Amino acid sequence: MRLLEAAALPTEEAMVVQVPDQAPLEHPLPPPRIMQAPAIKVELQGHTYLANGLLQVNPRGRHPIYDLITRSEREWEAKLARQSRTLPDALNEYKRRYGRAPPMGFDRWWAYVQRHGVQLPDEYDQIMRDLESFWGMAPRDVRRMQSLARGKEGTYNIASSSVKGKIELSGTNLGKGEEEKRGAERAKEQLDLLHGFGETWTDERTGQATSVEREIVKATGDWEATFNLYDVPREFVSYEWDSERRMKAQSAAVIEGPQKAPGQTNLGWAAACPPNSHLRYSYPPPPELPIQFLERKTFIHSHRLTMNPCSHSSLVHLSGVLLAEGRGPEVQEPALIFGSSTMEGLYADILTVPTQGWVAEAEGDVEWEEKLDERLLWRGSTTGVLFSPEHRWAASQRIRFMEMVGVHDNFLNYSVLLPNPEDTPVGIPEPRFQSWMNALLTDAAFVRGPVQCTPSECDALWQLYEFRSYMPHTQQYKYKYLFDVDGNGRSVRFERLMRSRSLVLKASIFPEWYSNRIQPWVHYVPVQLDLSDLYDILTFFRGDVGRGGEGAHDELARKIAYSGKAWAEAFWRKEDMVAYVWRLMLEYSRVGNDAREYLDFEL
């Protein structure tokens, strides 16, 4: 549905709403734009890029989305251009970034990367960040931390044996019933990754048959790793405990022996944050609902930085995962555990690569020009938090999203930045009726019926929200804009959506293994978790609803959508996932080895 083809908006005279026992209320359209003499050209000013990942809008600058796209394209091009092309180059770049030589077996990993054309071979900072604190501990204490994880509920263990030349499941603690079944499936998927999905070939040096599994074992040696079954991270870590080990690691020293987690146990989530962080010194009160966005407009320039609750304290009231824990868990010494999700600043889980939701292609997708519905689509279930009387579930992200875009029968105003031409100032936000924007810009609904709720809260959800039938993927791909938001943990639909030719908008608090390997505003559009920028983003790409869609940027939307699809096809292949977990285990096996100081790779 195009804005200009939508049902005609009411005229000023027709905009009279009858309210019982009251005088008629008038809601006129914005006045028509009057042709004026050409204005004197204004010198555009810049916007402010804050250290917390947000761009703060300067009304005297051009619309910030122009700048965000231009800046992000340059960053992406620069990242691609500086990647190593040869093994010596990769060796030097590794030393420059991390201050040490790569581990033995690096050449075998590099051969796989080259053979399969894995992109961005230098961009594995996430792995080094995840493992850095363990470099500040003696290897035997690293192994002790893994043994602590081994006995935890909802875990499974995978081990590499140089004697057997195999990587196998070495133990499970998965519970019963559906949980055990799901755990067994995920363990098999991790094994498939570490087996290179069964890839074999003939080694040119020896003439012998070999496989990815065998090459990983040769490269990494003997190790055991414990994996988290659940969708959410679990190893909450105090700032004092973590920072002490990171500082030791950076000075090539270690802390000997087991250490109790230091104090601050009464601070909840704030215990994981630096002493000068906003969350540590000012635990915020719950926000009122619905939130009215009265502050200066902001957009995301670094998606990763905006995911950190230490610098964005309102996130503890907006993410269902954080809401469910109230003020936060008790501090304790974390175990060494691998998982599919983590959270900036709060958890010590080591990110691995999950395969849930991965597909080779978006079957039934159509070209941009054939996507006849130009609204933002979302269909999903009531996940993200347990809906019970003791939880503030009304503040969780999916509920807040539906509260925002599900309104079609009022005349509340939301102020949005208008999509002014690129050579003119964006100016100050102007009011637009929320119900109009929702009718013309969004199509969102829960599906089937309430889940994860107590009987009383299930009844409340039935009364408060409309539940529609499931929408097939082929029908979803007829929309130009698709929305992705967290559920109980990271979203598993993002990869599938990225393979479509639709533009993906994503709101999330969970960084993932690919976060440093994708570029917001080039491959997808990031949205703040409080949704304060959602209408502004939709208005920029779709046009001003108050003026029949004037100022739309359909071509820019198409460009990002197609760049996102090309990225998924080139950067999120099975080979890319294998390269990540291989590199992860290469680094992990060294940090827990008593001889790690002597396991450097050199040409």
Model pTM score:
0.91
* Count of beta carbons in the 10 Å neighbourhood of residue 56: 15
Query: What is the predicted pLDDT for the residue at 287?
Result: 60
Residues 6+ apart with CB under 8 A from 85: none
- Alpha-carbon distance of 266 to 170, in angstroms, equals 37
Residue 58, class by beta-carbon neighbours within 10 Å (0-12 exposed, 13-18 middle, 19+ buried)? middle
185-199 burial by CB neighbour count: b if 16+ within 10 A, else e?
ebbeebeebbbbeeb
**CA 367 vs CA 348, 479, 503: distances in Å:** 42, 11, 12
- Alpha-carbon distance of 321 to 342, in angstroms, equals 11
Give CA 461 to chain center in angstroms.
27
Residue pair 558/368 in contact (Cβ under 8 Å)? The answer is: yes
Residue pair 490/512 in contact (Cβ under 8 Å)? The answer is: yes
Q: What 3-state class would DSSP assign to 46?
A: coil
Residues 6+ apart with CB under 8 A from 78: none
Residue 39, class by beta-carbon neighbours within 10 Å (0-12 exposed, 13-18 middle, 19+ buried)? exposed
β-strand pairing of 200-202 with 209-211: antiparallel
> How do the domains of the chain map onto residue ranges?
84-118, 362-573
With CA atoms as reference, report the closest residue to 57 among 66, 47, 49, 65.
Answer: 47
Query: What is the predicted pLDDT for the residue at 176?
Result: 87
Query: What is the predicted pLDDT for the residue at 327?
Result: 85
Residue 504, class by beta-carbon neighbours within 10 Å (0-12 exposed, 13-18 middle, 19+ buried)? buried
- Alpha-carbon distance of 269 to 587, in angstroms, equals 29
Query: What is the CATH code for 362-573?
Result: 3.40.50
Query: What is the predicted pLDDT for the residue at 37?
Result: 47
- Alpha-carbon distance of 350 to 235, in angstroms, equals 9
- Two tokens at 548? 């029949």
- Alpha-carbon distance of 407 to 520, in angstroms, equals 29
| Residue ranges of the chain with per-residue pLDDT less than 70 | 1-41, 258-265, 283-295
Give CA 203 to chain center in angstroms.
38
- Two tokens at 304? 């990763």
- Two tokens at 268? 């909840």
- Two tokens at 99? 């201050």
Residue pair 537/64 in contact (Cβ under 8 Å)? The answer is: no
Query: What is the predicted pLDDT for the residue at 27?
Result: 41
Query: What is the predicted pLDDT for the residue at 265?
Result: 62
Give CA 376 to chain center in angstroms.
19
Query: What is the predicted pLDDT for the residue at 191?
Result: 97
Query: What is the predicted pLDDT for the residue at 8?
Result: 34
